[in-house]
Amino acid sequence: MAETQRTFAIIKPDAVANKSAGQIIARIEESGLDIIALKRLQLDDDMAQGFYAVHKERPFFGDLVKFMTSGPVVAMALEGENAIARWRDLMGPTNSTEAPAGTLRGDFGTDIERNAVHGSDAPETAKLEISYWFNASEIQALVEALP
* Residues classed as catalytic: 118
**DSSP letters along 3-68, please?**
PEEEEEEEE-HHHHHTT-HHHHHHHHHHTT-EEEEEEEE---HHHHHHHTGGGTTSTTHHHHHHHH
Residues 6+ apart with CB under 8 A from 51: 43, 68, 129, 132, 133
